[in-house]
Amino acid sequence: MKPSHVVALGGAGAVGFALLLMLLTHGAGFPLLAPSGSVGISERDLMVRTVYLMLIVVIPVIILAIFIAWHYREGNTKAAYTPNWEHSKMEEFIWWSIPFEIVLVLSAVTWSGTHELDPMKALVSTQPPLTVQVVALPWKWLFIYPEQGVASVNELALPVNRPVEFRITADAPMNSFWIPALGGQMYAMTGMTTMLHLMAPTAGNFTGRSANYSGAEFAQMSFTARAMDQSDFDAWVAQAKQAEALSSGTYSSLRVPSDAGPVRYYGSVDMTFADILDLYMPMRMDMTMPMGSSMMHHP
Amino acid sequence: MFGILTSAAFIHGPIETGGQLVVVLGGVSVLLLLTFTKRWKWLFREWLMSLDAKKIGIMYLVLAGLMLVRGGIDALMMRGQQAIAVGAGSGYLSPDHFAQVFSAHGVIMIFFVAMTFMFGLINCILPLQIGARDVAFPLMNSISFWLTATGAILLNLSLVVGEFAATGWLAYPPLSELAYSPGVGVDYYIWALQIAGIGTLLAAVNFIVTIVKERAPGMTLMRMPIFVWTVLASMLLVLFAFPILTGTLAMLSLDRAIGMHFFTTTLGGNAMMYVNLIWAWGHPEVYILILPAFGIFSELVPVFSQKRLFGYTSMVVATMVITILSFGVWVHHFFTMGAGANVNAFFGIATMAIAIPTGVKVFNWLFTMFRGRIRYTTPMLWFMGFLFTFILGGMTGVLMSVPPVDFQLHNSLFLVAHFHNMVIGGVLFGYFAGLAYWFPKIFGFGLHEALGKLAFWLWIVGFAVAFIPLYILGLMGMTRRLDFVDAASGYHPLLVVALVGACIIALAVSVQFFHFLVSLRERKHRKDSSGDYWGGRTLEWSTSSPAPLYNFAHIPHVHGRDAFWRMKEKGESGREGPYEDIMLPKNSAIGLFIAGFAFLFGFGMVWHMWWMLPVSLLGIFVTILVRSFATETEYVVPAAVVARTEAHHHPV
Amino acid sequence: MTRHASHDYVPFGLWVYIMSDCVLFASLFAAYAVLHTETAGGPAAAALFDPHFVLIETLVLLTSSFTCGLAVLAAERKNVRGVWAALVATLLLGGAFLAMELTEFGNLIAAGNSPQASAFLSAFFTLVGTHGLHIFIGGLWMLALLMHVAIRGITKGTSRGILYFSLFWHFLDIVWICIFSLVYLFGSLSL
């Protein structure tokens, strides 16, 4: 096959493949590219900005590579040929400085972006944040609303336009709490709390799931995040209030590894987030030695 | 006597039984074949006991090829499951079996394909490139290989007896702790890696000493071929990274075997420490693999551009900068673990900094081609394939080094696509290029070019069809390691496309094996009688193909970079007589014995057969003790034999 | 006869290996540093360790390093009896060190402070135990050297072997000094 045929074939194949992919993803959601949450939008913007910055170098390099690869092929005897040319201070200085400069710019973007989008940082809003405590269980999600005194499994209700402060732990192997349409993820680990701030500016249902493999039925660990108006949220809380209590007994059965199961609500919370953290308090069961000054540790 | 091993360990579901049968029947048929063809003695004498780095290298390559098939079948099984499983409980694999498959796939591809392939090429070529007769410690080299093989055997034995880890390839606790993984799968994982890891560490010691001490006279550090530099850098990384893996897995095994609390959820164990430690090994590991691939490209681009390498000094500096930086970026594997913004930003920027020396390398390769006369042979095609896929992989890598962007992309299929982009497009294409380039040197005959190029194009197409959908799925929010997807997610069509891509890659691998066979059949007229198949520049091309036992009749004297190129310009061959006697190491079964005992140790640890531990350790001690008394460990190749060999390879 | 003799490279190879062993110990030290406050309600380092006992242990090991050096000197002078005396002394001192370490371990376990009791104790037993394991391997190495000396006398090979061994043994000494300072001294100061 002639090189020109290869190029033509490759080009046609690539275009056809791209068309096929467009056809197959038609109508599908791209929560990372078109997110709904304010944090997700900022993260998407940062992603796009980074890509553009890189393309400033990458596109010329690709063009250069194609040109060199084509022009200096063995068959092209008209091209210049300098078999012993091996060094040029100026060129090498340029090679080092081009990526250096672009990385310098990217570093500045990274530094400010990382601080601006620190998951621990509260979001700017006129409304006070709503606290939701998230517990990753095998293989389901428990959401506790300490202010409202209710809890739910596999369904997360959020008032629109109000920042939400998630406090995340696990009573299971490590998971990662992720609602792609709202913003980035955060690990859920036993005995400790991680924090994540998100906000949904518009009403809608978003899929959330665990992003970190946590055992056999991990694939079932998804939930629906429902962003709703304040009045709908109040109604949701009121409806949840009707349900049974999250006692230590109900919690014990929840933490048994099982399928995700249905959405569940709890009208009051006896088994609190702190109680769940305390399950992993590092205390010896068998105390043969007197207690020292060891109470300093609390995760 | 048998620890926790019971007959239940042999009984599996129908699909696992299939795997079991393949392993058992495959093993039995090889044994039968050897017996009927009466090849046992030959196999042991010529190969298994060999201390010749070139033969050990070929054994590494064979092992890597076998493991590529195993890991590839795992990949097809995963792609198959994801392509058909819509809704919970669908598909043909149980969730647990699916998890074992993806865990095994990762472990096998990294440790027993990539690492093994790398050591194969290093063994075959590195001593030749520095003008040495063999490596610094030939026996230790054999031990290294056999420990690697033992790890591979132990891992594959888990198909037959028991199960493999269902935890992912890095076995994060607490999932990998006894509380959540009570079976023996994680123990197989630990001991396969511990034993192979020790082999790797010994090999690193060996090659560092070889490079530092065994270079031909005149080959100063700044005259070494770039491949030698990159191997030196890679081995230094092994030296400083693999002990962390050994320590970390030892701690995990102490948790599991005797109930310690390094990473448990109770009594103060800290799983985050494991994540830090394993990546303190794991990130350098990426560079352990990729640096030699960069070295291979730096060898073949000048040869096929028929021009000197541009910017040698920059290449060396870039390699060393990457080596050092690679130890300062491990946190980028877990930006989402709750570290503060300062920590995340620091590690993100450190990660980007690696793009600088890497970019320099790309420019230097391009300017080696600039004003050259580029011959598009198969190795050069692999380089071009690498160049374009690697630019994509590099971009997605820099993208994920921005922590807030990573919050969204982490653990998604975008990440999976990215690292396959680097490991296939970077590492594997590099090694394929190296294999195609050095094949005539290693085996003495050239490869069928058209079939080699066909395999290359299939690989490129398969790679694009398999992994571009994964990038897109990541942007759609699909996480990794799902054994099924929901119909409403819209993921399913792309997963089918990815399966098609995986099948094209499988076809590409089949074509590769076929092209080795075709070339082997036609080896007579593909014979490399000159020893300089491509018009090479470095010393490995100055000796015959395949290189004689003693590598060089005379140790070459080096007067500059591209040593063989200079010899050719001056019209020297370096092969003329008179010859002298050459001493070489005798073959030895010590490596086999030590690996056998190491296997018993690992198997004993997996199945809690405690009595096997002291027995196997004593066995290793006695083996070493006996060897320490051996005196006649070398033999002499008389000058007359050297003369006859040289005359045979290079009739005047 | 143009091939090198492999032994020319052993000292350098040994140094390279020792570097990797340093990294192994470094990862165990790191684990100890992370976990040393995780006593799970049990006593902390200050209450557990007897600095005087450990000081004696340390002196025993340092002395063994000295006798090991004597063995190297004796081997250089081809002094067979000197080599025997110094190596056996080193072996006995190493054995005494191990016995003391095991006694300490035994006492801890008997008092309920086993390696399973807390993350701190897991890290402690593993760090100190790994050093002890190295000492044990050193002991086996010495036995092998004594066998060589007994069978072959002082040859170039055996005296080289003693020199290589001394590198390893001194390295273990240095690791122990780190353990002594970071685990026992800082521990008894409750740092």
pLDDT classification of A259: cutoffs 50, 70, 90:
very high
pLDDT at C187: 84
H or E element in which residue A207 lies: strand A204-210
Q: What angle do CA C9, C15, C18 make, to 5 degrees?
A: 135
Q: Are residues A180 and A111 in the same domain?
A: no
Closest chain A CA to residue B460: A10
Three-state DSSP state, A27: coil
Distance in Å, alpha carbon of C187 to nearest chain A alpha carbon: 14
Full-model pTM:
0.96
Residue A291 pLDDT more than 90? no
Q: Are residues A207 and A247 in the same domain?
A: yes
- d(Cα A133, Cα A272) in Å, to the nearest integer? 9
Q: What angle do CA B604, B607, B610 make, to 5 degrees?
A: 45
Q: Are B586 and B51 in contact (CB under 8 A)?
A: yes
| Percent of chain C whose predicted confidence (pLDDT) is above 70 | 95
pLDDT at B574: 77
Q: Are B491 and B485 in contact (CB under 8 A)?
A: yes
pLDDT at C4: 53
Range 604-643 of B in CB contact (< 8 A) with C: 621, 624-625, 628-629, 634, 636
| Percent of chain B whose predicted confidence (pLDDT) is above 70 | 100
Q: Are residues A52 and A139 in the same domain?
A: no
pLDDT at C8: 84
What is the phi/psi pair of residue B210, to 5°? -60, -45
Residue A6 pLDDT more than 90? no
Q: Are residues A178 and A56 in the same domain?
A: no
Residues of chain A in contact with residue B99, where contact means CB-CB under 8 angstroms, are: 213, 215-216
> B583 vs C3: CB contact, 8 Å cut-off?
yes
Residue A285 pLDDT more than 70? no
Residues of chain B in contact with residue C120, where contact means CB-CB under 8 angstroms, are: 268
The range of the structural domain enclosing residue A13 comes to: 3-73+91-116
Instruction: Identify the CATH homologous superfamily for domain C51-189.
Output: Cytochrome c oxidase, subunit III, four-helix bundle (1.20.120.80)
Q: Are residues A135 and A277 in the same domain?
A: yes
H or E element in which residue A53 lies: helix A38-71
Cβ neighbours, 10 Å, residue B599: 22
Per the document, the length of chain A is 299
Residues of chain A in contact with residue C38, where contact means CB-CB under 8 angstroms, are: 282, 297
Residues of chain C in contact with residue B212, where contact means CB-CB under 8 angstroms, are: 12
> B251 vs C126: CB contact, 8 Å cut-off?
yes
Residue C6 pLDDT more than 80? no
Q: How far is CA C130 from CA B234, B469, C36, C176, in A?
A: 27, 48, 17, 11
Q: Which of B359, B291, B317 is nearest to A64 (CA)?
A: B359
Residues of chain A in contact with residue C113, where contact means CB-CB under 8 angstroms, are: 289
What is the rounded average pLDDT of the residues B595-615? 97
User: In sequence order, which residues have a C-beta less than 8 Å from that of residue A164 and are 6 or more positions away?
Assistant: A129, A130, A131, A132, A158, A197, A198, A199, A200
pLDDT classification of A265: cutoffs 50, 70, 90:
very high
Question: What tens digit of pLDDT does each residue of B395-416 get?
Answer: 999 999 999 999 999 999 999 9
- d(Cα B572, Cα C144) in Å, to the nearest integer? 50
Distance in Å, alpha carbon of A285 to nearest chain C alpha carbon: 9
Q: Are residues A28 and A61 in the same domain?
A: yes
Residues of chain C in contact with residue A282, where contact means CB-CB under 8 angstroms, are: 38, 40-41, 118-119
> C115 vs B267: CB contact, 8 Å cut-off?
no
User: In sequence order, which residues have a C-beta less than 8 Å from that of residue C122 and are 6 or more positions away?
Assistant: B251, B254, B255, B260, B261, B262, B269, C35, C115, C116
pLDDT classification of B16: cutoffs 50, 70, 90:
confident
Question: What tens digit of pLDDT does each residue of A178-201 get?
Answer: 999 999 999 999 999 999 999 999
Number of domains in chain A: 2
Q: Are residues A186 and A244 in the same domain?
A: yes
Beta bridge partners of A131: A165
Instruction: Classify residue A170: in a domain, yes or no.
Output: yes
Q: Are residues A278 and A215 in the same domain?
A: yes
The residues spanned by each domain of chain C are: 51-189
Peptide bond into B578 cis (omega under 30): yes
User: In sequence order, which residues have a C-beta less than 8 Å from that of residue B109 and are 6 or more positions away?
Assistant: B67, B68, B71, B423
Q: Which of B110, B189, B196 is nearest to B157 (CA)?
A: B189
> A47 vs B366: CB contact, 8 Å cut-off?
no
Residue C7 pLDDT more than 70? no
Q: How far is CA B606 from CA B157, B191, B599, in A?
A: 11, 7, 11
**Which of A21, A215, A259 is the closest to B175 by Cβ?**
A215
Question: What tens digit of pLDDT does each residue of B20-65 get?
Answer: 898 899 999 999 999 999 999 999 999 999 999 999 999 999 999 9
Instruction: Classify residue A143: in a domain, yes or no.
Output: yes
H or E element in which residue A52 lies: helix A38-71
Neighbouring subunits of A (3+ Cβ pairs under 8 A): B, C
The single-letter DSSP state of residue B575 is: -
Three-state DSSP state, B545: coil
pLDDT at B178: 96
Q: Is B573 on the interface with A (CB under 8 A)?
A: no
Q: Are residues A144 and A39 in the same domain?
A: no
Instruction: Classify residue A294: in a domain, yes or no.
Output: no
| Percent of chain A whose predicted confidence (pLDDT) is above 90 | 85
> A189 vs B345: CB contact, 8 Å cut-off?
no
Neighbouring subunits of C (3+ Cβ pairs under 8 A): A, B
Q: Which of B211, B160, B214, B215 is nearest to B188 (CA)?
A: B160
pLDDT classification of B592: cutoffs 50, 70, 90:
very high
> Which stretch of A149-158, B433-442, C33-42 has the lowest confidence by average pLDDT?
C33-42
Residue A298 pLDDT more than 50? no
When the pLDDT of each residue in chain B is averaged and rounded to a whole number, the result is: 95
Closest chain A CA to residue B370: A68
Distance in Å, alpha carbon of B19 to nearest chain C alpha carbon: 37
**Which of B205, B255, B264 is the closest to C13 by Cβ?**
B205
Neighbouring subunits of B (3+ Cβ pairs under 8 A): A, C
CATH number for position A222: 2.60.40.420
pLDDT at B649: 79
> A293 vs C113: CB contact, 8 Å cut-off?
no
Q: Is C24 on the interface with B (CB under 8 A)?
A: yes
Instruction: Classify residue A78: in a domain, yes or no.
Output: no
Distance of CA B113 to the CA centre of its chain: 5
What is the rounded average pLDDT of the residues C112-141? 97
Distance in Å, alpha carbon of A153 to nearest chain C alpha carbon: 32
pLDDT at A290: 37
Q: Are residues A134 and A281 in the same domain?
A: yes
pLDDT at C190: 63
Residues of chain B in contact with residue C6, where contact means CB-CB under 8 angstroms, are: 136-138, 585
pLDDT at A42: 97
pLDDT at B651: 58
What is the rounded average pLDDT of the residues C157-178? 96
> C30 vs B133: CB contact, 8 Å cut-off?
no
- d(Cα B490, Cα C75) in Å, to the nearest integer? 77
- d(Cα B267, Cα B255) in Å, to the nearest integer? 12
pLDDT at B632: 86
- d(Cα A144, Cα A129) in Å, to the nearest integer? 15
- d(Cα B425, Cα B453) in Å, to the nearest integer? 16
> B580 vs C122: CB contact, 8 Å cut-off?
no
Instruction: Classify residue A299: in a domain, yes or no.
Output: no
Q: Are B321 and A103 in contact (CB under 8 A)?
A: no
pLDDT classification of A296: cutoffs 50, 70, 90:
very low
pLDDT at C16: 97
The single-letter DSSP state of residue A219 is: G
Residues of chain A in contact with residue B348, where contact means CB-CB under 8 angstroms, are: 110, 114
What is the rounded average pLDDT of the residues B581-603? 96
Q: Are residues A179 and A276 in the same domain?
A: yes
Q: Are residues A63 and A165 in the same domain?
A: no
> B262 vs C2: CB contact, 8 Å cut-off?
no
Closest chain C CA to residue A295: C41
Q: Which of B556, B538, B527, B567 is nearest to B649 (CA)?
A: B527
pLDDT classification of B648: cutoffs 50, 70, 90:
confident
Closest chain A CA to residue C43: A292
Distance in Å, alpha carbon of C40 to nearest chain B alpha carbon: 5
> Which stretch of A79-83, B1-5, B31-35, B106-110 has the lowest confidence by average pLDDT?
B1-5
What value of ipTM does the predicted structure carry?
0.96
Q: Is A5 on the interface with C (CB under 8 A)?
A: no
Distance in Å, alpha carbon of B199 to nearest chain C alpha carbon: 13
